[in-house]
């Protein structure tokens, strides 16, 4: 592996031979050097030759960004869980299980009150927070490369992927055991759609390198 001294010597020799910065960076990139490392080494060359320190850019508002993304994920988790619970309750009401008797758990209105309230409250808050994040990114596009955004977005992807994986395993297990029922299939589909939708959305946001409406990371 090439040492940092060899890299500095190469840049010094290339510059003394009249090579442009673009040529130096292109050659280093062609040999597999990461873009950040190549530009950092070029900055070190100018620091050594000019005696001036290249200022390091420090991202501002990292604490605020962390709060916004964490708050958005809390809202996301609240309304998705509430939506899943609401759908589960409706499925139990629509698709009766003749082997299961009800023992006075209350009316349907009582059962859906809490999850429905979670969706009504958390979903608009999630959209408002994401709208605010989107406006901030339009003013400061560099926030797309924020480590806070990347870490929390990949955390959301990990959780969603884990739920999808567990959902598929549960479905296959019941299928192999011959215990599939209409209620189970309906509930399994609800979990898959919600978790899969979250995973697809955040994965697309990271790949496109730009915020989507309602994006949390």
Q: Taking the domains of the chain in order of start, what are their residue ranges? A: 4-50, 62-208
pTM of the complete model beyond 0.85: no
For residue 163, give the nearest of 142, 137, 193 by alpha carbon: 193
**Alpha helices in 17-61, H assignment, sequence order:** 21-30, 35-50
Q: Does residue 215 sit in helix, strand or coil? A: coil
Chain segment 53-97, per-residue pLDDT in tens:
766 655 555 778 888 889 998 999 999 999 999 998 898 888 876
- 45/52 Cα distance (integer angstroms): 10
- Check whether 10 has a pLDDT greater than 60: yes
Q: Which residues contact 176 (CB under 8 A, 6 or more apart)?
A: none
Cβ proximity of 126 and 72 under 8 Å: yes
């Amino acid at each position: 592996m090439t040492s940092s001294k060899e890299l500095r010597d190469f840049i010094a020799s290339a510059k003394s031979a009249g090579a442009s910065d673009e040529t130096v960076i292109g050659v280093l990139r062609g040999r597999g050097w990461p873009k950040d490392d190549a530009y950092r080494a070029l900055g070190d060359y100018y620091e050594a030759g000019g005696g001036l320190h290249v200022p390091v850019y420090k991202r501002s508002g990292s604490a605020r960004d962390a709060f916004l993304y964490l708050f958005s994920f809390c809202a996301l988790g609240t309304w998705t869980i509430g939506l899943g619970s609401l759908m589960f309750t409706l499925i139990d009401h629509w698709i009766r299980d003749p082997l299961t008797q009800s023992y006075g758990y209350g009316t349907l209105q009582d059962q859906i009150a809490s999850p429905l309230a979670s969706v009504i409250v958390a979903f608009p808050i999630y959209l408002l927070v994401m709208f605010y994040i989107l406006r901030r990114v339009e003013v400061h596009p560099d926030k797309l490369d924020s480590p806070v955004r990347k870490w929390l977005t990949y955390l959301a992807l990990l959780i969603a992927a884990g739920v999808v994986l567990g959902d598929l395993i549960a479905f296959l297990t019941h299928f192999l055991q011959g215990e599939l029922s209409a209620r189970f299939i309906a509930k399994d589909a609800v979990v898959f759609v919600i978790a899969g939708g979250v995973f697809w959305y955040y994965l697309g946001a990271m790949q496109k390198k730009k915020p989507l409406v309602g994006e949390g990371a």
